[in-house]
Amino acid sequence: MLLSGSGKPQFGEGNREVGEAPLGRPVWAAVGGSLMSLCLPFTGVATMKFKSPPVNSLSLEFLTEFSISLEKLENNRACRGVIITSTLPKIFSSGLDITEMCGKSMEHYTEFWRAVQEMWLRLYGSNMVTVAAVNGSSPAGGCLVAMSCDYRIMAENPKFSIGLNEAQLGIVAPFWFKDTFVNVVGHRIAERSLQLGSLHPAPEAHKLGLVDELVPEEKLMERAAAVMAQWLALPDHARQLTKTMMRKAVLDRLVAHREEDIKNFVTFVSKESIQKSLRMYMEMLKKRKS
């Protein structure tokens, strides 16, 4: 992931680079983890770019780095907003890494699911303004990442699609994926789309309200910056309290049922019938390619 931003650099060790202006003020700080890059320039707006080829699958390692990056930005008082996008052509994120859910131990499934929950709790509950610049397809977990942001701008290419397609894989989107979806598009659209496991091409996603606007791909980052500026023009405390008011019930529900949700996931994903569905789905992806 690639994360970039400005202001007071507070990031961890590792791949840190900090530019210094003549007066000793930091110009920008870039923390390149291996799976995403992050930069925070003077504007106080970070850009986080997923860079985990081939398709930015949300593996345990990726989710961990994502959560750590969000925590670092959240704790950096100079950072007020983050734009999330991808460095890969045509793909925002392919969703949860299916290989993390296939043929692994119960302990592994537990750790993986906790990491999925952690990422969502941090992103959906973030005090920062979060804008998703969706520059490619974004199924399932990828859609969750985009939906957890405050605003979604998608490249207007009808070949790019977004949605919670879990049902197509023979799995069930958990209640907090569903709650997030309902909060974005409303109950009726969410119900139909979830039952059918629909992946919506960008123009349809826009019509349904799943994404807020479509722009030509080359204008995506420029538009994301403009939207961010509009949201940041308001006082942070008023915006943050309003965001909390709108999202708290859904966040609290997972916090209250976190262990039960992990147990449900582990039991569900360990079933031979589910393992079989996931294996068949992976085979279908590979065959489709050849």
Ligand X SMILES: CCCCCCCCCC/C=C\CC(=O)SCCNC(=O)CCNC(=O)[C@H](O)C(C)(C)COP(=O)(O)OP(=O)(O)OC[C@H]1O[C@@H](n2cnc3c(N)ncnc32)[C@H](O)[C@@H]1OP(=O)(O)O
User: Is residue 171 a contact point for ligand X (CB under 6 A)?
Assistant: yes
144 within 8 A of 116, measured Cβ to Cβ: no
Applying CB under 6 A, which of residues 83, 96, 190, 194 lies at the interface with ligand X? 96
DSSP the chain: -EEEE-SS----SSSEEEEE-TTS-EEEEEE--SSEEEEEETTSEEEEEE--TTTT-B-HHHHHHHHHHHHHHHH-TT--EEEEEESSTEES---B-GGGGSS--HHHHHHHHHHHHHHHHHHHT-SSEEEEEE-EEEETHHHHHHHTSSEEEEE--TT-EEE--GGGGT----HHHHHHHHHHH-HHHHHHHHHHT--EEHHHHHHHTSSSEEE-GGGHHHHHHHHHHHHHTS-HHHHHHHHHHHHHHHHHHHHHTHHHHHHHHHHHHHSHHHHHHHHHHHHHHHHHH-
Applying CB under 6 A, which of residues 31, 55, 129, 133 lies at the interface with ligand X? 55
From residue 268 to residue 287, the character string flagging contacts with ligand X as x (rule: CB under 6 A) and all else as - is xx------------x--xx-
Rounded to a whole number of angstroms, the minimum distance from the CB of residue 216 to ligand X is 21
Rounded-to-integer distance, Cα 9 and Cα 175, Å:
37
Which CB sits closer to ligand X, 140 or 153? 140
Rounded to a whole number of angstroms, the minimum distance from the CB of residue 90 to ligand X is 6
32, 95, 141, 142: which one is catalytic? 141
Tell which residue, 55, 2, 47, has the closest CA to residue 220. 47
User: Is residue 120 a contact point for ligand X (CB under 6 A)?
Assistant: no
Whether the bond between 54 and the residue before it is cis, its omega within 30 degrees of 0, is yes
User: Is residue 89 a contact point for ligand X (CB under 6 A)?
Assistant: no
Which CB sits closer to ligand X, 46 or 184? 184
- Total residues at interface with ligand X (CB under 6 A): 30
Query: Is 259 annotated as catalytic?
Result: no
Which CB sits closer to ligand X, 5 or 163? 163
Query: Is 141 annotated as catalytic?
Result: yes
Which CB sits closer to ligand X, 149 or 228? 149
* Stretch near ligand X under the rule CB under 6 A, chosen from 27-35, 53-61, 71-79, 242-250: 53-61
Positions 240 through 259 that interact with ligand X (CB under 6 A): none
User: Is residue 98 a contact point for ligand X (CB under 6 A)?
Assistant: yes
User: Is residue 174 a contact point for ligand X (CB under 6 A)?
Assistant: yes
* Stretch near ligand X under the rule CB under 6 A, chosen from 30-38, 123-131, 169-177, 221-229: 169-177
Which CB sits closer to ligand X, 40 or 58? 58
Positions 178 through 217 that interact with ligand X (CB under 6 A): none
Q: Which residues are known to be catalytic?
A: 96, 141, 165-166
